[in-house]
Amino acid sequence: MPTLTQQQFDPVSAWARYEPDARRPWNFALAGHLYRRAAFGATWDQLQRAFRDGPQRTVDGLLRPSADVAAFNRQYDELETPANDENSSNDLRAWWLQRMIRTPHPLLEKMTLFWHGHFGVNAAKVNSARATQQHLQLLRKHALGNFREMLAGIVRDAAMFLSLDAKANRRALPNEDLARWLMETFTLGPGRFSERDVRETARAFSGWFVLQNQIRFIERERDSETKRILGQEGRFTSDDVARILAEQPATSQTIIRKVYRWLISETAEPDDRLLAPLAESFARKQDVLQLVETMLRSNLFFSAAAYRQRMKSPVEFSLGIVKGLEEAVSTPPLAEALARLGQNLLHPPTARGWLGGQNWINHATLAGRHNLAAALLKSDGVFGGKLNPAAVAGKHDSGARFFLDLFLQGDAEPSSASDAGADARRSAYAAITLPEFQLA
């Protein structure tokens, strides 16, 4: 394994492309690392192909898959469309999990999940399945696109207004909730704006209402007078707010730090100097795909400073099992199990999303993860015995180390799990309940 730590990198070498050499060879462990971060885990065949293809070609396929992603997305958009506008978020959760499992573009869904945590819309407050679905589609459309365009969509998103109790924005009574969350959590970060900025931004949203779960503009409620926001003056509207916030250097820093935690490490806070090249580029282009690509190809990503330096969320934990065993499972009970483990999709605890990191793990949730692993591997029960470790091991003609190599890529000793040939379910369970499997 590479041994460089974050402190040993200068910005140029950190973000330069990783090129394997004798000191830092490409290996099975790094292939697994890439699939844990840029996808939801990998099958045995995907790991083998990645090992043969090398890091850059594998990253190419994750960033820009050859499959018809647009056709897949159209199919699932149609499947997820609610028959009515009742709050059927349970169905939407299940469909989204199926989409994560079956997608030909797992990085797109992984980044959609990232943005869901960033913007923190709660379906219970939205109380409209259609508005919640449209919000998810907005996130997916821009998940690897342009952040400025995403933010322009967010400021006209009915689900966002409803989730933040901002469905009425009257000229005489500006609603400051959306303005404050937008600046403090979604863009600039705390301490980088004034109370006057909040008030003036709230005025810029005047005229926007959510009526029958759809965003509507009422001209007579618009405040058309001059506003001063972050040092700029004009007769600003919500569109101007999105533009002003997106172009602030503080916004680029906020986004880059969060993506860094998502893709690189959540255990060590990067310094400004390390992130400066990324911040400069993102401020100019607002290109999420370019940011993600730079991180995934980098020396830093493939170093010890990033390797297993994130705690898996419940979604990542469970889908890593499902992907590795090459079969889909019933997702309504999976969604319920994930909610009990602390990640209730479409219902983040606050608009800040989930805290993540070590907050995912305590005595109760660790026991819950073990119980979920056992339920997924059972030959009957709520998941219907769809996952068959013996069939997967037999298909790949593997020996005693198979499940350790499939799920942990050699990061545990053979004595940690039983012989795959003797009892495949028990062997798979032993591998996926090891401490190492909790780390992404």
Would you say 404 and 353 are in contact if contact means Cβ atoms under 8 Å apart? no
Both 211 and 247 in one domain: the answer is: yes
Residue 424 lies in a domain: yes
* Phi, psi (rounded to 5 degrees) for 217: -110, 130
Question: What pLDDT is stored for residue 422 in this prediction?
Answer: 58
Residue 77 falls within a domain, yes or no? yes
Q: Find the mean pLDDT for residues 58-63.
A: 98
**Residue range 288-307, pLDDT digits in tens:** 999 999 999 999 999 999 99
Q: Are residues 218 and 280 in the same domain?
A: yes
Say if residues 222 and 171 touch (Cβ distance below 8 Å).
yes
Does 58 reside within a domain?
Answer: no
Q: Are residues 280 and 379 in the same domain?
A: no
Do 113 and 150 fall within a single domain?
no
Tokens of 20: 């394997």
281 and 151 fall within a common domain: yes
Please say which residue of 115, 145, 175 terminates a domain: 145
CA 127 – CA 233 distance, rounded (Å) = 36
Query: Residue 311's beta-bridge partner residues?
Result: 439
Does residue 74 sit in the same domain as residue 131?
Answer: yes
CA–CA gap between residue 212 and residue 199 (Å, rounded): 27
More confident residue, 77 or 288: 288
Number of independent structural domains in the chain: 3
Residues 194 and 220 in one domain: yes
Q: Answer yes or no: is pLDDT of 6 > 80.
A: no
The model's pTM is 0.95
Identify whether residues 138 and 228 lie together within a single domain: no
Contacts 24+ apart (CB under 8 A), 85-89: 85/128, 85/129, 85/130, 85/131, 85/213, 86/129, 87/123, 87/124, 87/126, 87/127, 87/128, 87/129, 88/129, 89/123, 89/124, 89/129, 89/132, 89/346, 89/347
For residues 407-421, average pLDDT: 68
Q: Say if residue 210 is in the same domain as residue 322.
A: no
Pair (275, 364) in one structural domain: no
Contact 271, 257 (CB under 8 A): no
- Cβ neighbourhood burial of 211 (10 Å; 0-12, 13-18, 19+): exposed
User: Does any domain span residue 275?
Assistant: yes
> Taking residues 372-398, what's their average pLDDT?
93
**165/137 same-domain check:** no
Q: Work out the mean pLDDT of the chain and round it to a whole number.
A: 94
Among 124, 145, 166, the domain boundary falls at: 145
Query: How many angstroms separate the Cα of 294 from the Cα of each of 16, 17, 56, 300, 315?
Result: 8, 8, 11, 10, 25
Residue 9 has pLDDT above 90, yes or no: no
Domain shared by 160 and 134, yes or no: no
Tell me the residue range of the domain where 181 lies. Answer: 146-254+271-286
- Residue 421 binned pLDDT confidence (cut-offs 50, 70, 90): very low
